[in-house]
Structure 1
Amino acid sequence: MKPNLMTRALSGAGLFCVLVMPLSAQAENLIDLYQAALENDPQLRAATFDHTASQEVVTQAWAGYRPTASFDYDDVDTTQNIVSSDNTVFQTGSTSFPTTTWTLTVSQPIFRYANYLRIGQAKAELRKADAELISAQQEMMLRLSETYLAALAAEDELGYLQAEMNAAQQQLDLASGREDAAIGRSVDRYDAEARLAAVEADYAEADVAQRDAYEALYEMAGRDPMGLAQLQSEIDLQLPTPADEKHWLQAAMTNNPALITQREAVDVARREVGRQNAGHYPTLDAVFRNTEQETGGTLFGGGSIVETEELMLRFNLPIYSGGSVSSQKREAVARYHSAEEELTRLLRESRRKSKESYWGVINAVKRVNALNKAVDAQQATLELRRAAYDAGLETAISVLDAERDLYSAKRDLSQARYDYLLNGLRLKALVGVLTRDDLNLVNNWLES
């Protein structure tokens, strides 16, 4: 084939491959992976099953005040051998007879203070489980967003290092050519070789980080993403609404799902103290028992059928149980104080994180605007230094430094844009209002 025909054939084959490429090979966006994580994220699935299990605690608590019934059945074969007896009623010899006994017992608690307190405690545990599920759902959305944007940042890092590596290679070729032509210095070639080697080492490290970022997405989605939709070069940067730090601080201290969960945990622990203390209280039950015993024989030689019905009030007053009740109460008091301290820690943490995220959004906007200017300035600096190097007015190291500074500014700009998105999502998660709509907003800023 002639060269031009071969080129056309290869171009047509390439176009055909693109057209028939399966949709699964296209880049996936944030919502694609969110849908997968809803079904496959182990942490969210575990939280869902935990919530389902916690829904049973109220039913179990009420069971402590509901009647219980039990049925016992015994079938006994008795063999007796009278070796000797001074009682003339009993004859010497042996006898064998069966005995069948069944008993139906129904018990109704009348006063069990510990069981009564357990009902209120179970309701508090259910409220805690509801808050934990909401927290797990929002945490999954935030965790997925952080992982997705971290993977994008890792890809950006690889791209910038690849570009810097190409620029260093070009500078090395240029320095080597000038040295061979006896118009350049050996030190320029050595500087280019050293910079190229350093960038290659950074690239190897960044490659591992990028692979690990994809594995983190696999952990949540349960499948390997075929590629990630990149963030657009221009996104709409907006300050938090309302732009009032106190508003977000108060909202975080009130509606943070982690705080709501811990407040319910404190309530559960407080009720546990009362429940353990109720171990000193008496209990009162109503008991009905019906027993029928059928005996096929006795020592007297005759069998019998006896039915017995009993209705009783059973009163129990605990006096001493080896100190276990008092010990369990002390344990419950200590755990209650521990839960209170954890609540205090979360309150302070929410205060810090709400301020951090609020100012993180504001400062990210400022950083993006400033770094856009820095990138433009570094690009102009690089072009001037390249021109000066070609004219023999600059050394190779100055050009290499300019290239490094340019890609460093681009890297910082990229990270600032990701920080803007992440801090906005974190701020909403802290106040408990993070929803799929927020993910949709981020997703709309990704390349189609």
Structure 2
Amino acid sequence: MTVRIAVSLLLAVCVAHVHAQEPDSPPPASASVSANEYAADLMQLYRESRLEDPRVLAAYARAQAGVDRQREAFGGLLPQVTASGSFNRTNRDVESYSESFNNERYALSLSQHIYNKAAWENYQKFKQLARQGEFESVDAQAEATVDLAQRYFVALASDDELELILAERRATQKNLDRVNALYDRKMAMVTDVLDLQARVDALAAQEVEARNQVRLSREELSEIVGRPVEEKLSRIREDVELQVPGEAIDQWIERALAANPGLKAQEEALGAADAAVRESRGAHYPSLSLNLSAQRSDVGYDNTLAPRSDSYVASFGVQIPLYSGGSASARVRSLHSERLATEQQVEAIRRQVVKETTSAYLTAQSSIERIRASRNALESAEKSSVAAERGFQYGVVNAVDVLTSVQNEYAARRDLLKAQYDFITNLLVLNRWAGRLSEQSIENVNVWLARSEEARALERKATSEQD
């Protein structure tokens, strides 16, 4: 019976971390509201992190810079128009006379590439780099999302550890009090008292470490969202069936190779490297340009005053590179080597995508089996704990056996919670490598977290069982 009460206390403590909404009857008015009265779920923290995570903001800024550099390179292909003007005041002293006069000159010119391979390939290079920046931004956001989820469930696990330690300590303390009472009546051995006291003291030490871990895990969340996270965190609901998507692993790998943003970013980098090689080879090609200019001037030779004249010039310019000291060929060779290095980076990322996708898929599959096994183990541990309690009442087992059964029960609870957190985290990792991690993915996971009204129902149920 004592163990049953301890189990009820554990349930009441665990559900205290679930959402808290308004109760059925309005609460009494208060002058202040504590942050602990609110609850935060994964979706809320995700939306905050999109606006506060420096990694996400930096990735977006780099992507925008790539778009602007592409526009800059495109501007080199458009007509280049310049206007100039000058005004001169001249004083001339000659032996027979002196004079002063003003000169003016105005000019307008336009230059347009008709054929310039280097300029065109330069634009293609920055076009590829801009797309690379966009994919890198998506990949950085996906990585930050997985990191947020991992920290979220680490924080939940830290809360679980603390609450389980507290519950186990209370249950062990009750057993110790009962054994002490029996020992006073010469009905228990001193070794039972010492074993239980040692376990209570060990749990007290573990409680200190668990409280410290709770604070550290909350600080890790605060680092991402940019504010102290003091709210209760929503927990996994008991009425959901966690399942891995039905696609085979080959389909996930195929999807990952086609859609992984990190791999696509490296493929765009390879395209940019190809364009850079073509740009460097453009230094060996002739270029053709059109130039148009108009000028109005009354400036003569040596700044003398001349009749105003208007001139209009249209010209085609051809430039044929002959020899540049070998620098153009050397640049081609160096960029070709860089292109080969980028190609190897693409292959390395491709292999990493296959490995990580396979690992996440298999780990998620095994996590489902671990969840089932952990639930069965918990049920067996609960029955064993009840049986040990009854056996102790009838003198069949000693207090150490009861202590061992309680420890096994709480260990099974830890294993079950950890298996659930590992499954959800690996499912997000799988979608991240497959290029499918989005806000909708977080929303789908958030559905598995307990709503506040469900938490309150569980609290009322636990309280009634405790009474």
The two structures share one fold, judged by TM-score above 0.5 = yes
Aligned residue for 1:207? 211
3-state secondary structure, aligned to 1:315 = strand
Q: CA deviation at 1:268?
A: 1.5
Q: CA deviation at 1:117?
A: 1.6
Aligned residue for 1:313? 316
Amino acid at match of 1:219: E
Which residue, 31, 40, 59 being the options, matches 1:47?
59
Over aligned residue pairs, what C-alpha RMSD do you find? Answer: 3.6
Aligned residue for 2:200? 196
CA distance 1:262–1:19, change in 2 (3 Å): farther
3-state secondary structure, aligned to 1:343 = helix
TM-score, normalised with respect to structure 1: 0.80
Amino acid at match of 2:234: A
1:258 aligns with 2:270: no
Q: Within 1, Cα distance between the matches of 2:234 and 2:403?
A: 31
1:408-447 residue CA offsets vs partner (Å, 9 max, x unmatched): 2111110111222222222233222334443333222222
Kindly name which structure, 1 or 2, has the bigger radius of gyration based on alpha carbons: 1
Percent identity reads: 26
3-state secondary structure, aligned to 2:39 = coil
* Equivalent pair of 1:69/1:107 in contact (CA under 8 Å): yes
CA distance 1:298–1:46, change in 2 (3 Å): closer
Q: CA deviation at 1:320?
A: 4.5
3-state secondary structure, aligned to 1:411 = helix
Aligned residue for 2:19? none
Give matches, 1:40-439, under 5 Å: 40-75=52-87, 91=95, 100-174=104-178, 176-177=180-181, 184-225=188-229, 226-242=231-247, 244-294=248-298, 303-305=305-307, 307=309, 309-321=312-324, 323-387=326-390, 396-439=399-442
* Equivalent pair of 1:386/1:399 in contact (CA under 8 Å): yes
3-state secondary structure, aligned to 1:351 = helix
* Equivalent pair of 1:240/1:361 in contact (CA under 8 Å): no
Between stretches 184-193 and 261-270, larger displacement belongs to 184-193
Q: Within 2, Cα distance between the matches of 1:335 and 1:20?
A: 69
Between stretches 46-55 and 111-120, larger displacement belongs to 46-55
* Equivalent pair of 2:103/2:305 in contact (CA under 8 Å): no
CA distance 1:294–1:215, change in 2 (3 Å): farther
Q: CA deviation at 1:68?
A: 0.6
Q: Within 1, Cα distance between the matches of 2:84 and 2:326?
A: 34
TM-score, normalised with respect to structure 2: 0.77
Q: Within 2, Cα distance between the matches of 1:388 and 1:162?
A: 25
Q: CA deviation at 1:228?
A: 1.3
3-state secondary structure, aligned to 2:83 = strand
Amino acid at match of 2:151: T
3-state secondary structure, aligned to 1:56 = helix
3-state secondary structure, aligned to 1:45 = helix
Q: How many residues align?
A: 424
3-state secondary structure, aligned to 1:55 = helix
Q: CA deviation at 1:367?
A: 0.9
Q: Within 2, Cα distance between the matches of 1:209 and 1:320?
A: 68
Q: CA deviation at 1:265?
A: 1.7
1:186-225 residue CA offsets vs partner (Å, 9 max, x unmatched): 5444434443343333333332332233233333334444
Q: CA deviation at 1:368?
A: 1.1
* Equivalent pair of 1:361/1:423 in contact (CA under 8 Å): yes
Amino acid at match of 1:317: I
